[in-house]
Structure formats: C-alpha cells, structure tokens
Amino acid sequence: MSTSRNDQIIQMSRKDDTSELQFLRNQQQVIASLAETFLRGHSVASLYTEIGRSISKVLQVDGCLLLECPTDGHGYRLRSACGLCKKKMLETVDWVDNRQLAESLKRDDVLVVTDYLASKKFHPPDRECFKNYRSGMSVRMPGQSGPIGVLAIYHSQARKYRVDEQEFLSTISNMLAGALSRDAKERALRETETRSKVILNTAVDAIITIDEDGLITLFNQAAQQMFGYMEEEVIGQKVNMLMPQPYRNEHDQYMENYKSTGKKKVIGIGREMTGERKDGSTFPLYLAVSEFKVGEKRHYTGIIRDVTEQRSLEQEVLRISDHERRRIGQDLHDGLGQMLTGIGLMSQGLVNKLKKENPGIAEQAKEITRLLREADEYAKNLSRGLLPVDFEVRGLVTSLERLATNAERLFGVECTFRESNIPVFYDTTVVEHLFRITQEAISNAVKHSQADRIRIELEANEEFAVLMVKNNGRGFTSEWQQKKGSGIDIMRFRAQLIGATLDIQNLEGGGVVLNCVLPRTEAMYRMEDEQE
C-alpha cells in the first residue's frame, strides 16, 4: 500500500551494526550509571545536560527536554533542552500551555505522538526551534503531592516508539523524580539546619546538647563565650568538664542513676548550679534541662544563663541589710545594753541606801532594779539574735555548737555537731549565711520531718567546704518540690548568694540529708593550719 510522504509513518531504523541486544544493553548501562550516580548522592541539577544527552543517544532522537516544577507551584521551569536549541532562547517557566505536556502531567503512562503533522490534538511546544520536529514522547515525573516535572524527547522524523523505548523513558523519569525528591528534602533539611544554627548561635543563653552518655553534641556561641572553650574543644567530651568538683565526679553517677531508676534531679526542673570556665574560675548559673529521644536513645538539652550579675546585686542588697542588722545589734549590745546595765547598778546602789532610811521606798526601788535587769537581758537576747555568729577564727564552729546545744534545750531533740578540717572564712557574709542555713535546716527537721536526732557536720579540703545537716525524720513526699515552703527557697537563695549549691535528698531507710557545697576560691577561705 502506497501513501503520500507526509502521511507515511516512518518505521524506526537503526544502524546496521547496532543489534537489538546492543540497544537493550545501552539502556541498561544508562540506567545503571544513573542509579550509581544517584546512590552516591550527586545533585541532579549538575547532571541535567548529561542525562539529556544519554537519553537522546540511547533513543536515537534529536533532543531531550526536562522541565521541573518549582516549589512555588507556578508553571514549570526549564532545566535542560539538550540538542533542541540554545537554553537562553527558552528561559521561561510558562510550559504547561503546551497541550501534550499538560496532558502528560495528568497521566501515569507515556504519551507518544508518532507524527505531529497527522495529529489533530498535539503539537510540539510553541517555540521557533521546535517547529520542525515531527514526533516525540513525554511522561511526568511523579511526586508525593503531585508531579514534580515532565520529561520529553523530540525527533525530526515521524516514527513509532517501541514499548521498550517507552519503558526506558518512564524508568528514567521515575529515577529522576526520586532523585529530585531526595534533593528537595536534603535542601529543605539544609535550610532547616541553617536556620536552627543561626537561631542557636544568636541566642543570648548558652545552649548545650548531650547524649545519654553525657557527651557534648552541640555547643552554641553563647556557651563558647560563657565557658571560654571553642566548639571543637568540647564536642565529644564529657559535659562534666564544665563543672567544678565535687559535681564533676558525681555527674556520671547521676546519669547512671537516672537511667536505672528514672528519678529526676535536674531534668524538667530549673535550678541554680555552679559552672567552671576553661581558666578554672567558677560562676553561678541557672540551668534548665529538657529531654528528647532520637530513635531509642535519650538526648538532653541544657539552656544556661550566667547569673553572676544578678547574684552580685542580690548579695550587695543582702550585705547592706545584714550590715544594718549587725549595726542595730551592736547598738543594742554596746549602747542600750550598757546603759541599762549602768542604770541597774545605780538603782541597786539606791536600794542599798533606802533600806535603812525608807524601807517602803526601798522595795519599790528594788522592783525597778529587777525590771531594769530584765530589760537588759531582753536587749542582750535581741542583740544575740541579730548577731548570732562570733566573727573570730572559729566563730562559725562556736556558733554551730551553741546552735546544737540550744536545739536540744528548746526542742528536746538529740542534736550533735562534728567538725573536720575547719576552714577559716575571709568573708563574714559567708559565715552568716552558713549559720542561717543550718538554723533553718534544724527548724525544718523538728517542725516538718518530726525528727528526734539531728547531726551537723562541717568539713573542708583544698577544693570545697561541705556543711551537712542530717536528720532521722519522715522525709519528703514525692510532691515536695511543688509543695515546698519558703524555708527551702530561702536556704537555696542564701547558698546561691555565696556561690554554693544546696542539695536536699531523702535517705534510704528514712531521714533527710542537706548538703551545702561551697567551692574554694582564694577569696573565700583558707584551711586553719595554712599560713596567710
């Protein structure tokens, strides 16, 4: 049967030296090569021209067109027009106006046009350089929420495209779709990571992330400035390197205890602690810890704020308050007390004279003398309350011994005090706060824990001083953190002002122990046997 040249469908012809087997082998080689390239994580954007050239060579067509859907969803952006025309002639995203390409975006199979001149429905893209093409195939690149692009080939002669050729184009399209989706996810992940890093590094507070073994995995710029370490110096190191003793040695045990028991001491509960900088100096900090999981592994994020300025201001306010209290106490003792003592002596002398001259008036004078003595004793007691600590070398020890004796006398409990390696404090404010913490701990043991045995211990070494108050009371309930009264908050506040940390725990078998740990500095204390 003869037909005109325009209507004739030209059968696909191959070079004589190219067998069917070689044709299939070429397809497989291209697919294998692309698969290996994508598995290695190469970006698709850098391979568009090479991919288009490979497709054109295998299918023996004039060129390959690759359009990608931009993330804003408007039109389709040209990525490659290999062999068709110069890319600069096609700089446009308005490609969906072509009926064939638009139809391909709706179909799962390959759309084949064997002869555009014979087709009443489809035609090549309405561009000058496409007007001489006679046949082509197009297929969409599928994505999870819709097509992410379209892949098309064009040829200058009308021809039929075999099933294996259609399957080859469809396979390449699916591979490109997968690689483009991967690239988009990686790009979005990089953008998210970049945003997160910017947020982390511009945060005012220090942010540190550790894994379940206590190894640092993130250390933002604020943390670097706060602790004096560069990021590369701490990543992969134990987080306890940022803690002074004894917390450095205790931290690993705490992590193990939490893993095995689930009991939290810091996680989810903000608290003040002491940090150690690279230069060895210590400072007060506020730490809030949260927990998250990656797979089955726990990770922890700590947000840290340096509260040195805040504590210095609070300490100055309290120092002024304590100074005024001591001044009033001193005035009571040295001023009013001495005046009352003198008046009492004068009154007693008057009583002695009136005994012979006027016994009735002498009795009234005697009563006045008694009242003066009571007033003098009352003034002394007020002074002693305002000045509880003797600021001598062993002033704290003497005051704690007296506190233990008074506790036995007033509360009817057994209260003992033991000293070991007594520190000599340079700052009387520190001595005052340690005394007040002990006083409050004894009061809590008697009133709330209903203890009948209390033990006070004070000891120090070259690194830190520890004040311990232990009782045999009933201990705290599981809700004590939420229901604690102001007494515990005041003790913590006093500890924080002097750079110490306060830890209160229930004891196994009953009872409560309070540990106030004060790191040693040159300005804080010296050992009693050391020379100044």
Residues whose CB is less than 8 angstroms from the CB of residue 99 and which lie 6 or more positions away in sequence, other chains included? 121, 122, 123
Contact (CB, 8 A) for 151 and 169: yes
Q: Which of 337, 390, 51, 38 is closest to 179 using CA atoms?
A: 38
So what's the pLDDT on residue 1? 37
Distance CA 431, CA 524 (A): 10
So what's the pLDDT on residue 95? 62
Q: Which of 136, 135, 142 is closest to 108 using CA atoms?
A: 142
Q: Classify residue 450 as left (phi > 0), alpha (psi -120 to 50) or beta.
A: left
Position 521: which residue type?
A: T
Would the pTM count as exceeding 0.85? no
344-380 as b/e, with b when 16 or more CB fall inside 10 Å? beebbebbeebeeeeeeebeebbebbeebeeebeebb
Mean pLDDT for 143-169 is 89
Mean pLDDT for 358-367 is 77
Mean pLDDT for 343-370 is 76
Tens-digit pLDDT profile for residues 314-324: 767 766 776 66
Distance CA 371, CA 186 (A): 89
DSSP string, 32-97: HHHHHHHHTT--GGGGHHHHHHHHHHHHT-SEEEEEE--TT-SS-EEEEEETTS-GGGG--S--TT
**Could you tell me which residue, 330 or 200, shows the higher pLDDT?**
200
Burial of 63 (0-12, 13-18, 19+ CB in 10 A): buried
Tens-digit pLDDT profile for residues 389-430: 555 546 788 888 888 988 888 788 999 999 888 788 877 778
Decide if pLDDT at 519 tops 80: yes
Supply 163's token pair: 């099933």
CA 366 to chain centre: 73
Distance CA 532, CA 530 (A): 6
475-496 as b/e, with b when 16 or more CB fall inside 10 Å? bbeeeeeeeeeeebeebbbbbb
Q: Which of 527, 295, 520 is closest to 421 using CA atoms?
A: 527
Distance CA 185, CA 29 (A): 28
So what's the pLDDT on residue 353? 76
Distance CA 98, CA 286 (A): 64
CA 80 to chain centre: 45
Decide if pLDDT at 454 tops 60: yes
Tens-digit pLDDT profile for residues 249-285: 777 777 777 777 766 666 767 778 888 999 988 888 8
Q: Given CA atoms 85, 89, 90, 94 in this order, what sign does their dihedral have?
A: negative
For residue 246, whether the previous peptide bond is cis, meaning omega lies within 30 degrees of 0, is yes
Decide if pLDDT at 197 tops 90: no
Q: Given CA atoms 49, 51, 56, 58 in this order, what sign does their dihedral have?
A: positive
Task: Express the helix, strand and coil content of the chain in percent, nearest 5 each.
Answer: 45, 20, 30
Mean pLDDT for 59-74 is 79
Distance CA 175, CA 386 (A): 83
So what's the pLDDT on residue 14? 39
Q: Where are the alpha helices (DSSP H) in 387-472?
A: 395-411, 428-447
**Could you tell me which residue, 90 or 156, shows the higher pLDDT?**
156
So what's the pLDDT on residue 116? 92
Q: What is the average pLDDT score of the chain?
A: 79
In the block, which residue shows the tokens 């799962």?
Answer: 108
Contact (CB, 8 A) for 517 and 464: yes
Mean pLDDT for 223-242 is 92
Decide if pLDDT at 162 tops 70: yes
Q: Given CA atoms 332, 334, 337, 339 in this order, what sign does their dihedral have?
A: negative
